[in-house]
Amino acid sequence: MFKKILIANRGEIALRIIRTCKEMGISTVAVYSTADRDSLHVRFADEAVCIGPPKSKDSYLNMQNIMAVAELTNADAIHPGYGFLAENAEFSDLCAQYNIKFIGPRGHMIRAMGDKITAKETMLKAGVPCIPGSDGLVADLSEAKTTAAKIGYPIIIKATAGGGGKGMRIVWDEAGLEKAYTMARTEAGASFGNDGVYMEKFIEEPRHIEIQVAGDQYGEACHLSERDCSVQRRHQKLVEEAPSPFVDDELREAMGAAAVKAVKAIQYESVGTVEFLVDKHRNFYFMEMNTRIQVEHPVTEEVMDFDLIKEQIMIAAGTAISGMLYFPHKMHAIECRINAEDPMNNFAPSPGKITALHTPKGYGVRVDTHIYAGYTVPPFYDSLLAKVICRAKTREECIVKMKRALEEFVIEGVKTTIPFHLVLMDNEEFRSGKFDTGLLERFDYVQAIKESIVEI
Ligand code: MV4
């Protein structure tokens, strides 16, 4: 097992990783930017080294500085968390070159999933269902026209270097194709330095359901059931839960088997997530694979009663996953992401000093956070302040518990998404469990928040 792990991240996930390392008897090295001097990950780690100025590209993305710190402190592994360098194939390769274990997949596994056309081809060969679409890149407008006619409108144009919803264009009929195709290519070129695009049938009213997976160094793989992440705003997840109110045992078994096929096809090593779109007829299609630990991993931890960070570290150290297979759900878990954003103003970022804080507690309530009273939320990074994860026997009880927890949560000094989550927990569509990724376009949460304030 590793003796010392460097955590190349900040915020709640850095703390989350430090906690598991402590429980495993592994010492920790934190790295931090000058904006994060007073952060808890700096205090809770055994050692901490400043790696540069506030901007991510000068600090948390500075591979050379981070490798230098790992060498200097004699760390034998690096945990990248999520975001920053977590899905940087070059960094994974660099770690291998320096003989420091990257706690995540090898570079070529990240590359296999990073290019979306390559990923889709690999999945099709492995027998994982994919959305009908173009055969690879769409070279020009005339090919776009014939392909779209063959697939049938509506279609969606996606960037092969994209992901997470960036650079997508929906086209409803041939009249809209030329403009959408041209703009998609221009946008992809500007955003990713790669203007390659492909086409798919547009799936209407889909649910976003993802399967947590793990693969070891010996080619063995398993899944740990699903998370439903259909509550999103502009491709930002706000709420995740498990089990999905839409998934029955039959669908779970089929999606789990497909996800395991995906993992085995690339001999994936580490924990990861296979994202699927599920249509209203329960057809499911591979969308993307995330080759990292995800923000919403605690939802799975709560329903499976299983430390995913510990598993990720064990896999990196060479432990086989033979014993850990899927077993049925006994509990329901929901996670609400609490961001320093103003839901009354289009979720605009709201950095600043937290003047007062009380976090929710009690049976079935978990809060993963790095904030404290007096902490200043810097404007340079993502605005996640805390994750509230509730666990109960049924979905209904879990929603009640989440409302209770959110009502207890006091954060003063910055605007937060707590008022949004409070009204969402009362939304009929959410409560019914019968919703898709379009939920927030139909829900006037601004009005609901205004009304909830009047009530008090
Ligand atoms: C789609 C789709 C419908 N049809 N692909 C959004 C994120 C990126 N991973 C792919 N996405 C979508 N791909 C086809 N063929 C709809 C979306 C989509 C979406 C997916 C999951 C969660 C929220 C979403 C919001 C809008 C669009």
The set of protein residues with a Cβ atom below 6 angstroms from ligand 1 is: 131, 156, 164-165, 200-203, 206, 208, 232, 235, 277, 287-288, 437
Domain over 4-103 is classified CATH 3.90.850.10: no
Q: How far is CA 301 from CA 253, 296, 332, in A?
A: 19, 9, 11
353 has which bridge partners? 376
Residue 456's pLDDT is 56
Classify 248 in phi/psi space as left (phi over 0), alpha (psi -120 to 50) or beta. beta
Expressed in angstroms and rounded, the spacing between residue 280 Cα and the centre of ligand 1 is: 14
Domain 132-201: give its CATH code. 3.30.1490.20
Three-state DSSP class for 79? strand
**Å from CA of 209 to ligand 1 middle:** 11
**The predicted structure's pLDDT at residue 455:** 61
pLDDT of residue 330: 85
Rounded to the nearest angstrom, the gap between the alpha carbon of residue 414 and the centroid of all alpha carbons in its chain is 24
Nearest CA to ligand 1 atom 19: 437
Same topology between domain 4-103 and domain 132-201: no
Cis amide bond preceding 343, omega within 30: no
Calculate the alpha carbon distances from 361 to 358, 388, 422, 448 in Å: 9, 10, 17, 26
- Mutate which of 113, 120, 153, 156 for ligand 1? The one with the most ligand atoms within 8 Å of its CB, which is 156
Four-CA torsion 118, 123, 124, 128, nearest 10 degrees: -160
Nearest CA to ligand 1 atom 21: 208
Structure-block tokens of residue 6? 């460097």
Q: Is residue 33 a contact partner of residue 84, using CB atoms and an 8 Å limit?
A: no
The reported pLDDT for the residue numbered 325 is 59
CA of 205 to the centre of ligand 1 (A): 9
Nearest CA among 74, 76, 73, 72 for reference residue 102: 76
CATH code reported for the domain at 207-455: 3.30.470.20
Residue ranges of domains in the chain: 4-103, 132-201, 207-455
Annotated catalytic residues are: 292
d(CA 231, CA 208): 8
Give the residue ranges of the chain where pLDDT is below 70: 323-328, 455-456
Distance 278 CA to ligand 1 centre (A): 10
- CA-to-CA dists, residue 240 to 1, 226, 325, 366, angstroms: 32, 10, 22, 14
Nearest CA to ligand 1 atom 10: 165
Question: Regarding beta strands 270-278 and 352-353, do their DSSP bridges make them parallel or antiparallel, or are they unpaired?
Answer: unpaired
Is the entire prediction scored with pTM above 0.85? yes
